């Protein structure tokens, strides 16, 4: 991507981050999450910080009620959010993010999922979000690695009800801004001890509009 488009990409990311902070500030527990976010930005762990907010945005757009959990650093109590499933049960949500510095393999993905499972209560239905590294998207082994890791994880961790893999795509267009799209694939664990058909396929596209308001800075700028 050329220098001009790279600058537009960076500008978009800053605006997107600010927009998510603005819209999520009313979610219960966001103040503690914002502190963690600032720490990650200071440590240049931008990808992980953005991943947490995008996962929260996906929950909002899917009309899944949730609240952020204050980081504790304690095993079983150090996850991103509590969620209310369509069945009425309470669940736990953990978010992981992979960087391009990590080699793609089913083992790498499996280890991230396993770490996520250790951060939530054992008796809670678990929903995991995992952001795929941008550099992995062009790898022909990605699909197989995701499927293999998820199958193995579901077999050994019956508390997980689903894993949502999400990633961003940038489409360069001549004489126009780059087009940015978040995509996802949700894998359901029908063998989970917490499986309930009512809770399957929770996540919906960011092209939908959530119940209640989601303010976009573009709408504000155009007076919509």
Task: Give DSSP secondary structure letters for 126-145.
Answer: EEEEEEPPGGGTT-TTHHHH
Measured distance CA(208)–CA(172) in Å, rounded = 23
Work out the angle at residue 46's Cα, subtended by the Cα atoms of residues 21 and 118, and round it to the nearest 5 degrees: 90
Identify whether the C-beta of residue 113 lies closer than 8 Å to the C-beta of residue 149: yes
* Percent of all residues in the chain with a pLDDT value above 90, rounded to a whole number: 59
Provide mean pLDDT across the span 182-192: 96
Q: Which two tokens mark 43?
A: 């440590």
Q: Quote the pTM value.
A: 0.90
CA dihedral sign, ordered 165, 168, 171, 172: negative
Measured distance CA(220)–CA(39) in Å, rounded = 29
In this prediction, residue 212 has a pLDDT band, given cuts at 50, 70 and 90, of low
Q: Which two tokens mark 61?
A: 């757009």
Measured distance CA(27)–CA(59) in Å, rounded = 12
Mean pLDDT of the residues in the chain: 87
- Report the chain's terminal Cα–Cα distance, integer Å: 32
In this prediction, residue 114 has a pLDDT band, given cuts at 50, 70 and 90, of very high
Between 208 and 111, name the one with better pLDDT: 111
pLDDT tens sequence across 43-81: 666 777 788 999 999 999 999 999 999 877 777 778 999
Look at residue 207 in the predicted model and tell me its pLDDT: 80
The residues, ordered by sequence, that sit 6+ positions from 10 with a Cβ below 8 Å of its Cβ are: none
Least confident of 52-66, 81-95, 105-119, 198-212: 198-212
pLDDT tens sequence across 1-33: 455 666 777 777 788 888 999 999 999 999 888
Provide mean pLDDT across the span 74-98: 92
Identify whether the C-beta of residue 81 lies closer than 8 Å to the C-beta of residue 151: no
Identify whether the C-beta of residue 166 lies closer than 8 Å to the C-beta of residue 58: yes
Look at residue 199 in the predicted model and tell me its pLDDT: 96
In this prediction, residue 175 has a pLDDT band, given cuts at 50, 70 and 90, of low
Look at residue 174 in the predicted model and tell me its pLDDT: 67
pLDDT tens sequence across 121-156: 989 999 999 999 999 999 999 999 999 999 999 999
Measured distance CA(101)–CA(15) in Å, rounded = 25
Q: Which two tokens mark 184?
A: 């996802």
């Amino acid at each position: 991507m050329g220098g001009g488009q790279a600058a537009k990409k960076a500008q978009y990311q800053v605006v997107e981050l600010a927009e998510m902070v603005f819209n999520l500030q009313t979610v219960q527990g966001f103040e503690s999450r914002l502190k963690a976010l600032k720490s990650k930005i200071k440590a240049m762990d931008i990808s992980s910080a953005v991943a947490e907010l995008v996962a929260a945005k996906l929950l909002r757009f899917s009309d899944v009620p949730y609240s952020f959990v204050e980081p504790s650093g304690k095993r079983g109590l150090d996850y991103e959010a509590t969620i209310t499933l369509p069945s009425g049960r309470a669940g736990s949500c953990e978010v992981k993010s992979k960087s391009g510095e990590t080699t793609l393999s089913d083992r790498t993905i499996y280890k991230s999922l396993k770490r996520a499972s250790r951060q939530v209560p054992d008796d809670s239905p678990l929903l995991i979000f995992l952001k795929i590294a941008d550099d992995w998207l062009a790898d022909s082994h990605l699909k197989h690695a995701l499927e293999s890791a998820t199958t193995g994880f579901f077999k050994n961790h019956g508390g997980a009800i689903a894993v949502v893999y999400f990633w961003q795509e940038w489409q360069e267009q001549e004489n126009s801004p780059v087009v940015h799209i978040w995509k996802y694939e949700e894998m359901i664990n029908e063998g989970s001890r917490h499986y309930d058909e009512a809770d399957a396929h929770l996540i919906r596209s960011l092209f939908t509009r959530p119940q209640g308001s989601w303010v976009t800075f573009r709408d504000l700028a155009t007076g919509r």
